[in-house]
Amino acid sequence: MKAPAIMNIFNDIVAKQSPAVARLQGEIDMYLIDGLVPYTEVFSVLDWWEVAGTRYPTLRKVARDIFAIPVTTVASESAFSTSGRILSEHRSRLTPNMVEVLMCSQNWLRNKCKGEQIM
């Protein structure tokens, strides 16, 4: 019995993805096999990923995306009161992503001026 044409297309896709999946699986296995790094006063997870990223390039991208998520301790009421100063009749066409960028930037600059560590 001959496989339908759609199955041939599926098999072609699987064959093309297999090396990439195998490479990623190998990268994850290598990361999990490597021992834990002991914590010291000078340890920096960002510096660690800078060095280890050459060994784990795909996981480095995942870590970069996770570390890029802004963390804030500002009360939600305070954050939303800022939006009134960002959105105005002249800035009503800003995308939600751009509003978020402006709000985070303002918060980071304010903290930097106060001498607080941003990250």
Q: Model confidence over 65-114: pLDDT tens digits?
A: 888 877 666 555 555 555 555 666 666 677 778 878 887 787 777 776 66
**Range of 90's domain?**
76-113
Q: Domain total for the chain? A: 2
User: Rounded mean pLDDT of 16-34?
Assistant: 82
Please state, in angstroms and as integers, the Cα–Cα distance from residue 41 to each residue in 4, 36, 44, 103, following that order. 61, 16, 9, 32
Q: Domain for residue 27, yes or no? A: yes
Residue 32 or 89, more confident: 32
Q: Domain for residue 48, yes or no? A: yes
Q: Domain for residue 55, yes or no? A: yes
Q: What is the pLDDT of residue 21?
A: 72
Provide the 8-state DSSP code for 108.
H
- Say how many residues make up the chain: 119
54 and 14 in a common domain = yes
Percent of the chain predicted with pLDDT > 70: 71
Single residue among 67, 87, 105 that ends a domain in this structure? 67
Mean of the per-residue pLDDT values of the chain: 76
Q: Domain for residue 118, yes or no? A: no
Q: Domain for residue 119, yes or no? A: no
